[in-house]
Amino acid sequence: MKRHIPNLITLMNLLCGSIAAVFAVLNQLELAAFFVLLGIIFDFFDGLAARLLNVKSDLGLQLDSLADMVTSGLVPGIVMFQLLGMSMTGGWNVDLSSQAANDTFWVGLKVAPLPFFGFLITLASAYRLAKFNIDENQVSSFIGLPTPANALLILSLPLILLYHSNDLLNGIILNQWFLIGVTILSAYLLNSKIELFSLKFKNWSFKENSQRYIFIIVSLVLLMTMKFLAVPAIITFYVLSSLVGTMGVKNN
């Protein structure tokens, strides 16, 4: 019976991702972000449960990637689709359920189908997850940005629009070139050769996990002081601190 517990937790991740996808399609991006976060929490605990119960399996590995494909792959693509659509229709306050706005949106798509470019994130996520499943080197570290981290980065953008709204931020985030740049950067980071440290603790020693402890402390401080603006800063810090740590190991 215990061997099914991690898989059940993984399926809860998939359920959260499916619900998030529905809310993302409906342009309810705050709720989509909530269920993505909940799914990522389940994603963390399924691996933890598998290690604690010593019931790791190939089935669990494949199921985990399938769940991540929805929660951290499909949903960010839909969210970027919506953001690119907003950049074409005048922003968040446009009621996409109204016929006039809907006509504007879809006419725009027929002329220049820019919003569909957001699904590059979904394609890049699928490629990364497939590579991860056959790569035996990504045990204590990751090669490229993990899909959950990338999903949080993308989902933070509509939350920043909602909770940190001002003309400057709105103008940046709803700028088409900015969103195109974020999409390309996201796809690159997911499949880059950058080695990023994992948050998996083998023990609680500060000496052996100093990089992880420092990252967690800095992340908590940023979240308390910057709220949703902290997410892009945390992802940037994660990548930069990993690069510094990798260079330090090579120099030694």
Pick the residue with more confidence: 169 or 46? 169
Note whether 121 and 183 are within 8 A (CB).
Answer: yes
Cα–Cα distance measured from residue 192 to residue 3, given in angstroms and rounded to the nearest whole number: 34
Taking only the tens place, the pLDDT of each residue in 194-221 is: 999 887 766 677 777 788 899 999 999 9
Mean pLDDT of 115-121: 96
**Res 21: pLDDT:** 97
**Res 207: pLDDT:** 75
- 52 Cβ neighbours under 8 A, 6+ residues apart: none
For the chain, give the number of residues. Answer: 252
pTM of the full structure: 0.87
DSSP state of 72: I
* Rounded (10°) CA dihedral 27, 33, 36, 37: -170
